[in-house]
Chain A
């Protein structure tokens, strides 16, 4: 059992969201530059160099930290773009850089020894050997855990390593091991590792027919909805497919992650920080989710039961369907 309070790490897609997250009680916010160096490279999102510096000042004034995600894989011939992003993050006074690429990690370890390095979930490090390798070579201080490990596996991992762990507790749920999934580029040509996007909006189309709506990604039908049914976003791994004579949401149901009921379990498993996904979300959403998790974490820290987080967040879950994901072993 860790004795220091768990850190609540919250998404900031824009300067306004950063301020909202800080004011709602985030211990740390994470954000990225407005380019392909981060894994939420969406239009209208992210920070300029100046906005980051201002965000860092605001966060520090309010006792919060800023973690900068430079967590895509650098393009061949253009590694300097990623190195310069890391330089800018270090100069902004941010508290940590979140990276996955050997090239970026190596650059930060050699040139910016004063800034903490966190290993991004995109590096998919899930064993003591892998995490130990990154610690020995780059001096990483924290690893963001893949969303496919069970609570028992996380506890065993924490007993075997001496860097901090950060676990996702709310928001999108990747069912594939992140940083090693090319489903999106297979269908659309764009992927998290290459472009910082998954199932990109410009490749999405909806077709109205007599019996309802067909949601497509690129050339492929991802799901169909009957008349009057709520229509979802066609994220590839949440689609409905035919296999083995069955039609089903083969990879994962269209659910989002909510491990709000597992905060005490994650603390007992030795987790240092809890991460809320959603840099693409607006400040209203972020405020509400951060406030709810702030209450829940504070309740667990004083030894009480977690507050009823499901009730607090009833309006914010994707289609109101949620799962604790891989933290429960039966998920597999």
Chain B
């Protein structure tokens, strides 16, 4: 568990949502390890258990490289495990001595250690975890419930506003709160695979067509307006969240971490921009402009952070 100085804002690199081949993952994380001013890096497949046989081979080398580069590695778990193999993967990861991100309640029993087996209403837990954005934490009482189970960092669902997360953070100072600052926000998960459906296939014989769309496949309206993106069983927005708060706005709400979600654009540069912003060396509007100059899969939005529809753009906080 890394401690953050009281005034410091830390950067977290979230898990890669897309089906990137092992070589791409290795190259991506090698650069992150060497060049990105990020303290904490999430690794692991979150969206689709069928992809795991491909990426599993890459993770030991990725983790070794990141840790050698001084990064704290967090193992992210599947957001919607169903099959025996998927459930086993969650259980295995939750047994790891590293910090684990729990993205489904399925992971809570195995992460909360032996105490869980002693019966109902126990609240003594030794192992810690990150409560990921796929867990429904909408209020301070739910946050405190998870803190009692061992949550130390909480990244609430993407639809919650900066004000709501800030209010939760001030009422639950036991946890570090993290806000989804950059990347296509994840909007939905299904049992159905939309890549397979678009290609006339079924999920069980999907041929991994999602690999062709490393930022997700654009979904436009009938009048050609950019709207959403699909990534296998996941739906994201087409637009890219780029919430650029001033560091004192974060500090006054007790929000200690900004999550950057990987896209194919230059994530090292994204991290540098956010580092400058968090250190007060770059103004929010300059950070936003610098982000807009990158090769992004969609236009920049920040509606959710301002309690507005997610697709909207407001003036930065």
Show the binding face of A for B, using Cβ within 8 Å: 73-79, 100-103, 106-107, 109, 122-130, 132-134, 136-137, 139, 146, 148-149, 153, 175-177, 179-183, 185-189, 191, 193-194, 214, 218-224, 237, 240-244, 246-248, 250-252, 326, 329-332
Q: Is A177's CB under 8 angstroms from B228's CB?
A: no
CA distance A46 to B63 in the complex (A): 52
Q: Please name all residues of chain A whose beta carbon is closer than 8 Å to the beta carbon of B188 when the two chains form the complex.
A: 176-177, 180-183, 237
| Chain A proximity of B24: nearest CB distance (Å) | 21
In chain B between 219 and 278, which residues have their CB closer than 8 angstroms to a CB of chain A?
219-225, 227-228, 230, 235, 237
Given contacts A77-B140, A187-B310, A242-B221, 13 further A-B contacts (CB under 8 A): A73-B138, A101-B142, A103-B139, A129-B106, A129-B107, A129-B109, A180-B79, A182-B159, A189-B309, A222-B221, A241-B222, A330-B202, A332-B204
Given A223-B222, A241-B228, do A103 and B158 touch, yes or no (CB 8 Å)? no
Can you name 17 A-B pairs with beta carbons within 8 Å?
A74-B138, A74-B141, A75-B139, A109-B121, A125-B105, A129-B109, A133-B105, A136-B122, A148-B192, A180-B134, A181-B187, A186-B185, A223-B222, A242-B224, A332-B192, A332-B193, A332-B202
Q: Please name all residues of chain B whose beta carbon is closer than 8 Å to the beta carbon of A221 when the two chains form the complex.
A: 221-223, 225
Q: Please name all residues of chain A whose beta carbon is closer than 8 Å to the beta carbon of B134 when the two chains form the complex.
A: 180
| Chain A proximity of B136: nearest CB distance (Å) | 6
Q: Is A103's CB under 8 angstroms from B225's CB?
A: no
| Chain B proximity of A87: nearest CB distance (Å) | 15
CA distance A19 to B228 in the complex (A): 43
Show the binding face of B for A, using Cβ within 8 Å: 79-82, 87, 90-91, 104-110, 116, 119-122, 134, 136-142, 145-146, 157-160, 164, 167-168, 171, 185, 187-194, 196-199, 202-204, 217-225, 227-228, 230, 235, 237, 303-304, 307-311
CA distance A248 to B207 in the complex (A): 21
CA distance A126 to B191 in the complex (A): 11
CA distance A185 to B209 in the complex (A): 28
Q: Please name all residues of chain A whose beta carbon is closer than 8 Å to the beta carbon of B106 when the two chains form the complex.
A: 127, 129-130, 133
- The residue of chain A having its C-beta at the shortest distance from the C-beta of B312 within the complex is A189
- The residue of chain A having its C-beta at the shortest distance from the C-beta of B123 within the complex is A137
Q: Which among A78, A137, A176 is the interface contact of B189 at CB below 8 angstroms?
A: A176
Q: Is B230's CB under 8 angstroms from A243's CB?
A: yes
Q: Is A250's CB under 8 angstroms from B82's CB?
A: no
Given A149-B191, A243-B198, do A185 and B222 touch, yes or no (CB 8 Å)? no
Q: Total number of A-B contacts with CB less than 8 angstroms?
A: 219
Q: Which among A133, A182, A248, A252 is the interface contact of B158 at CB below 8 angstroms?
A: A182
Of the listed residues B81, B91, B197, the one surrounded by the most CB atoms of chain A closer than 10 A to its CB is: B197
- The residue of chain B having its C-beta at the shortest distance from the C-beta of A246 within the complex is B198
Interface majority SS (helix, strand, loop, mixed), chain A: mixed
Q: Is B198's CB under 8 angstroms from A73's CB?
A: no
Q: Is A176's CB under 8 angstroms from B81's CB?
A: no
Q: Is B220's CB under 8 angstroms from A103's CB?
A: no
Given A73-B139, A247-B222, do A133 and B108 touch, yes or no (CB 8 Å)? yes
Q: Is A220's CB under 8 angstroms from B225's CB?
A: yes
CA distance A219 to B188 in the complex (A): 20
Of the listed residues B138, B164, B217, B218, the one surrounded by the most CB atoms of chain A closer than 10 A to its CB is: B138
CA distance A331 to B202 in the complex (A): 8
Report, nearest first, the 8 A-B pairs whose CB atoms are least far apart: A148-B191, A103-B141, A73-B138, A332-B203, A186-B310, A189-B309, A130-B105, A176-B188
Q: Which among B110, B159, B194, B227 is the interface contact of A193 at CB below 8 angstroms?
A: B159
Of the listed residues A76, A109, A176, the one surrounded by the most CB atoms of chain B closer than 10 A to its CB is: A76
CA distance A106 to B144 in the complex (A): 11
Q: Is B136's CB under 8 angstroms from A100's CB?
A: yes
Q: Please name all residues of chain B whose beta carbon is closer than 8 Å to the beta carbon of A186 when the two chains form the complex.
A: 159, 185, 187, 228, 237, 304, 309-311
CA distance A176 to B190 in the complex (A): 4
Q: Please name all residues of chain B whose beta carbon is closer than 8 Å to the beta carbon of A146 when the two chains form the complex.
A: 191
Q: Is B82's CB under 8 angstroms from A149's CB?
A: yes
Q: Please name all residues of chain B whose beta carbon is closer than 8 Å to the beta carbon of A224 when the two chains form the complex.
A: 222
Q: Is B159's CB under 8 angstroms from A79's CB?
A: no
Q: Is B304's CB under 8 angstroms from A185's CB?
A: yes
Q: Which among A73, A76, A223 is the interface contact of B136 at CB below 8 angstroms?
A: A73
- The residue of chain B having its C-beta at the shortest distance from the C-beta of A153 within the complex is B82
CA distance A102 to B123 in the complex (A): 14
- The residue of chain B having its C-beta at the shortest distance from the C-beta of A189 within the complex is B309
Q: Is A180's CB under 8 angstroms from B217's CB?
A: no
CA distance A332 to B139 in the complex (A): 34
Q: Please name all residues of chain A whose beta carbon is closer than 8 Å to the beta carbon of B120 when the two chains form the complex.
A: 136-137, 139
Q: Please name all residues of chain A whose beta carbon is closer than 8 Å to the beta carbon of B193 when the two chains form the complex.
A: 332
CA distance A218 to B235 in the complex (A): 19
Q: Is A241's CB under 8 angstroms from B227's CB?
A: yes
CA distance A331 to B304 in the complex (A): 32
Q: Please name all residues of chain B whose beta carbon is closer than 8 Å to the beta carbon of A240 when the two chains form the complex.
A: 222
Q: Please name all residues of chain B whose beta carbon is closer than 8 Å to the beta carbon of A251 when the two chains form the complex.
A: 190, 192, 194, 235
Q: Is A241's CB under 8 angstroms from B220's CB?
A: yes
CA distance A224 to B223 in the complex (A): 10
CA distance A250 to B120 in the complex (A): 43
CA distance A125 to B221 in the complex (A): 32
| Chain B proximity of A161: nearest CB distance (Å) | 12
Q: Please name all residues of chain B whose beta carbon is closer than 8 Å to the beta carbon of A252 when the two chains form the complex.
A: 192
